[in-house]
Amino acid sequence: MSTWSALSFQNASSPLMEQLIFFHNHALTILVLVLSVVTFNMVKTILAGNMNKSLLESQSLELFWTVVPAIILLFIGFPSIRLLYLLDEVYYPSITLKTVGHQWYWSYEYSDFSNNVEFDSFMVPSNELSSHQFRLLDVDNRTVLPFNTQVRNLISSADVIHSWTIPSMGVKADAVPGRLNQVSFNINTPGVFYGQCSEICGANHSFMPIVIESTYIKFFKKWIQMFNYIEWPIKVMIF
C-alpha cells in the first residue's frame, strides 16, 4: 500500500500493472530526454548571446522539428496501443466474481459454485480496528481470490455510479446502474491488496474500501467450504 513517502506507483501485483509501470517509465524517460535537450539548447543560446534575429526561414530546421517529434510520438504511441489492447483482452476465466456497488458498501458473489457464495463488505469503523488493521481501508469481509488464476470481475451498481479500483493490480472499472462492466486480471503473488471507490458517489464515498486477499488454491478451497460447499468444479490454471 502507499505511504506518505511514496512518490511512484505501488508495487505491481498483476502482469497488467507491471506493463503499466514499464510504459510509464518508458514514456517518462522520453519526456526527460526531450526536456533536457530543449532546455540545454535554450540556455546555451541565451547565454552565448548569438541569437540570430535575422533568421526568417530554414527548411532544414522546419524538417527537423517536424520529423523528430513524429518519430518520438511513434515510440510512445505503439507501446501505448499495445498496452490498451492488453488491458481489454478477454481471457478464458477460471473464476467469475460479481461485484455490486451500494451506498456505501460493496457486495460480492461467487456464482461458479452450486450454492452461490455471496456476502457484503463494509468498512471497519475506526473504534473497532485491531492493531494490525488500517484506518479507512480494512473491511469486515475480505474478497478472497487464488493467485496465479485468471479472474473475471463483473461490476455493476444498485444505486449510483461507483468505481471498483485496486491500484496495485492496475484495475479500475465504473459500476454503473443498469449496466455490466467486465474486467479481467491475474494476481501473481499472495498478499492483501487495498483499494477504494474512485467515483464520487455521495456523502460516504470515502468509506467504502475494497480489500482483496490473494491466497493459495488450497486455502481458497477451505474458505469456499465455509459456505457449505464440498466439491470443486472449476479447472484452475496454475502457472
What value does the mean pLDDT of the chain take? 84
Asked if residue 209 and residue 114 are part of one domain, the reply reads: yes
231 falls within a domain: no
| C-alpha span between 5 and 33 (Å, rounded) | 26
Asked if residue 217 and residue 101 are part of one domain, the reply reads: yes
What is the band of 102 on the pLDDT scale with cuts at 50, 70, 90? very high
Q: Which of 188, 187, 193, 197 lies closest to 134, judged by CA? A: 193
Q: How many domains does the chain have?
A: 2
Asked if residue 144 and residue 101 are part of one domain, the reply reads: yes
Asked if residue 212 and residue 110 are part of one domain, the reply reads: yes
104 in helix, strand or coil?
coil
Residue 1: the pLDDT is 54
Residue 42: the pLDDT is 83
**What is the separation of C-alpha 67 from the centre of its chain, rounded to a whole number of angstroms?**
35
- The residue that leads in pLDDT, 124 or 56, is 124
pTM of the model: 0.78
Q: pLDDT, tens digit, for every residue of 49-91?
A: 666 666 667 788 788 888 999 999 999 999 899 888 888 777 7
Say which residues have a Cβ less than 8 Å from residue 90's Cβ, sequence separation at least 6: 182, 184
Asked if residue 79 and residue 106 are part of one domain, the reply reads: no
Asked if residue 218 and residue 103 are part of one domain, the reply reads: yes
CB of 151 closer than 8 Å to CB of 93? yes
What is the band of 237 on the pLDDT scale with cuts at 50, 70, 90? very low
| C-alpha span between 185 and 190 (Å, rounded) | 14
Q: pLDDT, tens digit, for every residue of 212-227?
A: 999 998 888 888 877 7
Q: Which of the listed residues 53, 88, 123 is the one where a domain comes to its end?
A: 88
What is the band of 136 on the pLDDT scale with cuts at 50, 70, 90? confident
Euclidean distance between the first and the last CA atom of the chain, given in angstroms as a whole number: 25
Cell of 14: 498483476
Asked if residue 106 and residue 81 are part of one domain, the reply reads: no
| C-alpha span between 194 and 168 (Å, rounded) | 8
What percent of the chain is modeled with pLDDT above 90? 33
**What is the separation of C-alpha 225 from the centre of its chain, rounded to a whole number of angstroms?**
30
- The domain that holds 107 is classified in CATH as 2.60.40.420
Q: pLDDT, tens digit, for every residue of 168-207?
A: 898 999 999 999 999 988 998 898 999 999 989 889 898 9
pLDDT above 90: residue 44: no
Residue 238: the pLDDT is 40
Neighbouring C-alpha atoms within 13 Å toward the C-beta of 94: 17
| C-alpha span between 12 and 56 (Å, rounded) | 52
Asked if residue 182 and residue 100 are part of one domain, the reply reads: yes
What percent of the chain is modeled with pLDDT above 70? 88
pLDDT above 90: residue 164: yes
What are the backbone dihedrals phi and psi of residue 103, each rounded to the nearest 5 degrees, phi first? -90, 105
Asked if residue 79 and residue 138 are part of one domain, the reply reads: no
| Averaged pLDDT, 135-139 | 89
Q: Which of the listed residues 64, 88, 112 is the one where a domain comes to its end?
A: 88
